[in-house]
Amino acid sequence: MGNGFRSFADLVLVLLLGAVAAWAIAIDVGFGPLRVLFGIAMVLFLPGYVLAATLYPGRAATERDADRARALDGLERAVLSVLLSVCVVPLLAFAADVTGLGVSREPVLGLVVAWIGVFAVAATVARLRLPADRQFRVEGGGSLAAVDGFLRKQSASLRSTSPFAPQNDAELLLNALVAAGVLLLVASVGFTAVADPGNESFTELYLLSENEDGELVAEGFETEYAGDESVPVTVAVANHEGDRAEYTGVVTLQRLSSNGTTVEAEDEIGRFEATVPDGETVRIEPEATPSMTGENLRLRVLLYDGEVPNEPSADSAYRTVHLDVTVEG
């Protein structure tokens, strides 16, 4: 393989690994330990690696050059990648929070993927600006020698300069990023320690069905209904709002297209009202008889904590839950 490709092979690998890791993390089915490893790479290595590659696009041609330019080789780059990732990912999570995206899997993962892509391109441009013999490339073998060289280089650097004094603009930026990341981590830990989780207000809405022992459980739902009988489901509403709450539920039946992506028809088949004290859960068996028969049907419950609009929908509801069903004629 030519030296030209070797100068960018690590960035190509990072992009491929980032894409596969994002896919494995984003989909709902799990890969067990493999998915955990992908998550660790996305949080603790890849974001910092592309940033380090941008700030330090070159490699040390000689020990003298390394001491003067403070260029990074493999082991140093790996260590710095972890340190930078620890700072970058909390900053991205903070950005997701303040922009209203929310600190959850999808927005944070999207920002991490965008960060990796942008800085992989920036690192490529930075390397192209250097002579070919000074561009960083991954060298095979020599792991013990790399460790020994890393320790010798750091020892010499500590003897000749202050360990905290930035030697160039890149190191000044690194210091600022590390400081910001550490401050954000400390602030996050402090907020978590003093925040009262009981102040969070929310309502739970879920379906229950009766098992063989006559107990109500959130699994094993009956999905085949008779068209002339009320649907055999129980709706549970749990109030964690901090005060008594009044709810209105709207039960609808939708007919979906053959691929399940389009709603072809929808009827309201029942309503219920419930007053729930704070911290308690009520269970309702709604009077709702199917208005359609056939397959590709969806039973949906829309919960409102205020006035119900003329045309209830998932967008206007406070909480929603649904179940795919078949109704026999």
Arithmetic mean of pLDDT over the chain: 78
Per-residue CA distances from 267 to 161, 239, 263, 300 (Å): 76, 28, 11, 10
Rounded Cα–Cα distance for residues 115 and 111 (Å): 6
Would strands 319-328 and 224-226 be described as parallel, antiparallel, or unpaired?
Answer: parallel
Alpha helices, H only, 27-160: 33-44, 46-55, 63-69, 74-98, 105-128, 143-160
Query: Looking at residue 135, what is its pLDDT?
Result: 81
> Model confidence over 31-55: pLDDT tens digits?
567 777 888 888 889 999 999 888 8
Residue 271 confidence (pLDDT) above 90: yes
The domains of the chain, with CATH numbers, are 3-194 (no CATH), 202-328 (2.60.40.2550)
Residue 319 confidence (pLDDT) above 90: yes
> Model confidence over 206-242: pLDDT tens digits?
999 888 887 888 888 888 888 888 888 899 999 999 8
Rounded Cα–Cα distance for residues 203 and 313 (Å): 18
Of all residues in the chain, the percent with pLDDT exceeding 90 is 32
Rounded Cα–Cα distance for residues 14 and 67 (Å): 28
Rounded Cα–Cα distance for residues 230 and 271 (Å): 12
> Model confidence over 74-103: pLDDT tens digits?
677 888 888 889 889 888 888 888 887 777
172 or 296: whose pLDDT is higher?
A: 296
> Model confidence over 176-199: pLDDT tens digits?
655 565 555 545 544 443 344 445
Per-residue CA distances from 23 to 8, 118, 264, 271 (Å): 23, 18, 31, 40
The pTM assigned to this predicted structure is 0.48
